[in-house]
Amino acid sequence: MVLLSIWKNISAANISLILIIIYAITVFSTAIMVVREKRDPVKTTSWVLILILLPIAGLIFYIFFGQYHRKEKIFNRKGLRDLEQIENLSHLQILKLHKENFNRSSKIIDNLNIITLLLNNSKSLLTEFNEVEIFQDGDGAFNSIIDVLSSAKSTIHIEFYIVSDDKIGNKIKDILIEKAKLGIEVRLVFDDVGSWSLSKKYIRSMRDAGVFVHPFMEVKFPLLTSKVNYRNHRKIIIVDGKVGFVGGMNIADRYLEGSKELGPWRDTMIKLVGEAVHSLQAIFLVDWYFVSNQIISDRKKYFPEQNVSSHHPIQITACGPDSDWASIMQAFFLAITKARHHIYIASPYFVPNESILTALKTASLSGVDVRIMLPGKSDSTVVYWSSLSYVSELLDAGIKVYLYQNGFNHSKILMIDRSFASVGSANMDIRSFEDNFEIAAIIYDEQITDLLEKSFLNDLSRSKMIISDEWNLRSHKYNLKESVARLFSPLF
């Protein structure tokens, strides 16, 4: 009764003042928490500015998209016996590679520091004997994927950010159902946010046929969780433990047919046969354990012997908010800093952290030919304008920047000095480096890198090179768009 009496005597103005004070304390406390997380300074500054400039919306956005959970270990994987064995193998491989009498090829010697880095920061084993086939469009990639899936004899493992209930999605679904009915083990992991539009009917039809299907980090109440910020962006397929696919394509018609808004979709996917497939398999099985709580350890079935003589050294590395180190970003950084002749980058979303940005500018200023290809149009307006906000400082450092004109280039590739290449799901952006679960095939091979570089240079012929003088004459409204987009880039 006393409290009710006091409340009735408080004026509306006082109530408003109290609420404002409470809210101000909340926003201030949140800003302090952001700073204390000791994340990337640019990202920290962006979040603090968002909280100040858009107090209500900024606080909501931070709750859903900004909370930092790397140290809290979203995943608990310590019980996996296979991971302990991989750690032991990686340690032995480091010792072996650094022995003076070890017969190392020039491919390995030239990249020994990167190889050692990935063995240490992500336990990514070096595989030497692999066959590699490169696909530059959805037609070639999905024709090969369908052929390999159709020939499966024992297991099919698929993990994608986006699985769509469309023509290609249903074609693959039908194959998976057919194979499951024949007694083949079929497992599918899809990201619950990336595949939000996937119908329950689509999923149920596979489960009813015996396909094991799980969403990755299911989001039942998106407005009440920060899980929407940490997504599985990986795109991998492993069949019979012998053939694998990895790259930037999702399972969706637009990778085959393009879209009305953007035109043809250009992307890169690689098919692997050989030892590297075991690395893809290990990554999938760890993710499967997380979504299903099932440990799969039949080595003969899931890690069969490989009989490949082609010498194309590859490390498969994966990272995410659960990782101790940002392994993909660190590999990119080290590769860029050791470049001597050229660096070629294609990324649909270019929002680098300060380390990568400085490394690129330093490489260019030291005489390295740095070329970056960005999309001329994008499926994300905010990220598109944010990417363009970096152009001026790139040009000032002598970096050549191109805008792809023949549709939308969704490729995520990095090539350096004809001896290092990366193909995978990771964009050259902060979200891929810190927030998403990503994967990359790091290739140490002149022949494969040369093919990727030739394709990149061919794409440049379909691109418009940005001229510094023309760029600087643009209207101020473009600078404003880019600045605002860059501020909000942590959300996207």
User: Active-site residues: which are they?
Assistant: 233, 235, 240, 410, 412, 417
In angstroms, the CA 136 to CA 270 distance is 9
